[in-house]
Amino acid sequence: MTSYKLYWVATAKIKPGKFEEATRWWREKGAPDLLSEPWNVSLHTYAGQFRLAGEYEIEIWQELENYAALDQMDAWYEEDPVRGKKKNDLWEASTEYFEWGPARLVGDWPESSLLPE
């Protein structure tokens, strides 16, 4: 069986004058929330350098176990609406510090390489 990695990549920028509050929120609430998700394999956060990242300077790479994790996310919200609301409220509060940009799903598997062997 071929091994692959799958990532949900979110983008964001910190609102002006909110750097300290944003980093505190991320360390105390955002990252721990993502790390507690049952479909999470790993979590990495990157910041663009020298303004070369475009409008959204932060990328959050959450590794998912597999494609079934996408269905698991939907089911997780449906099976416990109170838990889902708490999660939504947590991330809604983050908009005081962050402006969230587009997200994408990216993968890495042997067949995805365009480099010669």
Q: What is the pLDDT of residues 61-89, one digit of tens each?
A: 999 988 888 888 888 888 888 988 999 99
Determine the Cα–Cα distance for residues 60 and 40; give it in Å rounded to an integer. 13
Note whether residue 115 is domain-resident: no
Note whether residue 25 is domain-resident: yes
Note whether residue 49 is domain-resident: yes
Task: For residue 11, list its beta bridge partners.
Answer: 59
Q: Which pLDDT score is estimated for 67?
A: 86
CATH number at residue 86: 3.30.70.100
Would you give the end-to-end CA distance of the chain in angstroms? 20
Does position 49 have pLDDT exceeding 80, yes or no?
Answer: no
- pLDDT tens per residue, range 89-102: 999 999 999 999 99
pTM for this entry: 0.82
